[in-house]
Amino acid sequence: MTLPKRVFSGARPSGRQHLGNYMGAIRNYVALQEEFDECLYCAVDVHALTTMTSKEETGEIQQNIREMVLDWLAAGLNPEKSIIFVQSHVPEVMTLHTLLSMVTPMGWLMRVPTFKDKVRQMEATDESVPYGLVGYPVLMTADIILYKAEVVPVGEDQLPHLELSREIVRRFNNLFGPVFPEPQARLTESPMILGTDGQAKMSKTMNNHIELAATEDETAAKVKTMVTDPQRARRTDPGRPWVCNVYKLHHWFNPDKLDEVYRECTAAGIGCVDDKKLLAEGVNTYFSEFRERRREFASRDGYVEEVLLDGANRAGAIAKETIREVEESMGLRLKAR
């Protein structure tokens, strides 16, 4: 039986998605379609603008949306069940963002850990940081509650944002009445995947990522660069799988070979080169049907555009209802009788 609650998640259109996106978020987007009646998945293009500083970057948005949506469809998002759309195609979200910004204290926004990281990444200062970047979590809250969503599948890095979303909702409801439910994060069993460097979270910006849609050879080449146990200098040294990110990924891509790899690695029976070959094979097998489906969707002329247009229409209808209710509760229009 499916539950009446709504699910919402968004991701910045960063182009082809990587193993971190899939293991941390996308596989839950897919799974939740079975558990809940209504799921909305959104390419948040306006969020992408918060850190963009050039026309070269914004020129890639359309292509990046397409690549990301192709990954979502290939992973199993079903546009007949789920509403798949682009944030700016439902402009009501900007109205809600402005209205929520009236009840969100600056202090809450300045304390968000990802805010400080992004300011640093952009090499901005308190003086030069764009106003839109400060409001990033307010826009994210607007995304979710415009649809009164309660379940939000995301990776671990998004938890501070969701905490803030709940605070904004509580504040709004206290001031203007119980309009919104409080959204809760839904994590996967692997809410934080490390990159090929074995140090930082896998991300495109760090270029430590492995794309789902990569070819088998590209995958093998990328896996080959992965950092393993730094203390294992020679092939004959025993390895320590518990500190090795290649071993961690075997949990997901070679679950039936875990014991064997552990034994062989700690006994120096297998070297890192062979171990990585095994991982690349595991990843390639895991995503082989995904890659086939992706090619098929990509070859259908106008298909992605059609999915997104339908999604925007369905999302827009819900959004208009919420905005009416919000404006009434905030005294911006007479209550409908």
> Could you list the active site residues?
118, 201, 204
Is residue 155 at the binding interface for ligand AMP, with CB under 6 A as the rule?
Answer: yes
208 binds, among ligand AMP, ligand TRP, none (CB under 5 to 8 A by kind): none
Buried b (16+ CB within 10 A) or exposed e, 268-303: eebbbeebbebbbbbbbeebeebbeebeebbeeeeb
Backbone φ and ψ of 40, nearest 5°? -120, 130
Q: Which of 176, 8, 6 is nearest to 100 (CA)?
A: 176
Closest distance of CB 121 from ligand AMP, Å:
12
Output 8 or 72, the one with its CB closest to ligand TRP: 8
- Count residues contacting ligand AMP (CB under 6 A)? 18
Stretch that binds ligand TRP, among 138-146, 204-212, 279-287, 289-297 (CB under 6 A): 138-146
Which of 6, 12, 118, 222: binder of ligand TRP (CB under 6 A)? Answer: 12
Which residues inside 196-255 make contact with ligand AMP, applying CB under 6 A? Answer: 201-203
Is residue 15 at the binding interface for ligand AMP, with CB under 6 A as the rule?
Answer: no
DSSP structure class, residue 238: P
308 binds, among ligand TRP, ligand AMP, none (CB under 5 to 8 A by kind): none
Cα 219 from Cα 249, distance rounded (Å)? 13
Cα 9 from Cα 32, distance rounded (Å)? 11
Closest distance of CB 14 from ligand TRP, Å:
9
Which three-class secondary structure state does DSSP give residue 323? helix
Closest distance of CB 8 from ligand TRP, Å:
6
Q: Which residues contact 18 (CB under 8 A, 6 or more apart)?
A: 202, 203, 204, 209, 210, 211, 212
Is residue 11 at the binding interface for ligand AMP, with CB under 6 A as the rule?
Answer: yes
Is residue 319 at the binding interface for ligand TRP, with CB under 6 A as the rule?
Answer: no
Closest distance of CB 142 from ligand TRP, Å:
8
Output 24 or 271, the one with its CB closest to ligand AMP: 24
Query: Side by side, which strands form the sheet with 3-11?
Result: 83-86, 36-43, 3-11, 151-153, 184-186
Q: Which residues contact 30 (CB under 8 A, 6 or more apart)?
A: 75, 76, 77
14 binds, among ligand TRP, ligand AMP, none (CB under 5 to 8 A by kind): ligand AMP
Of all residues in this chain, which one has the CB nearest to ligand TRP in the complex?
10
Cα 329 from Cα 96, distance rounded (Å)? 13
CA-angle at 69, arms to 63 and 74, nearest 5° = 130
Output 68 or 244, the one with its CB closest to ligand TRP: 68
Q: How many residues make up the chain in this entry?
A: 337
8 binds, among ligand TRP, ligand AMP, none (CB under 5 to 8 A by kind): ligand TRP
Q: What is the Cα 33 distance to its own chain's centre?
A: 16
Output 138 or 304, the one with its CB closest to ligand TRP: 138
21 binds, among ligand AMP, ligand TRP, none (CB under 5 to 8 A by kind): ligand AMP
Contact 173, 179 (CB under 8 A): yes
Backbone φ and ψ of 240, nearest 5°? -120, 90
Which residues inside 53-92 make contact with ligand TRP, applying CB under 6 A? Answer: none
Stretch that binds ligand AMP, among 13-21, 107-115, 230-238, 281-289 (CB under 6 A): 13-21
Buried b (16+ CB within 10 A) or exposed e, 22-43: bbbbbbbbbebbeebebbbbbb
Amino acid found at 129: V
> Binding residues for ligand TRP, per CB under 6 A?
8-12, 44, 47, 140, 143-144, 152, 154, 158, 161
> Binding residues for ligand AMP, per CB under 6 A?
11-12, 14, 20-21, 23-25, 154-155, 157-158, 191-193, 201-203
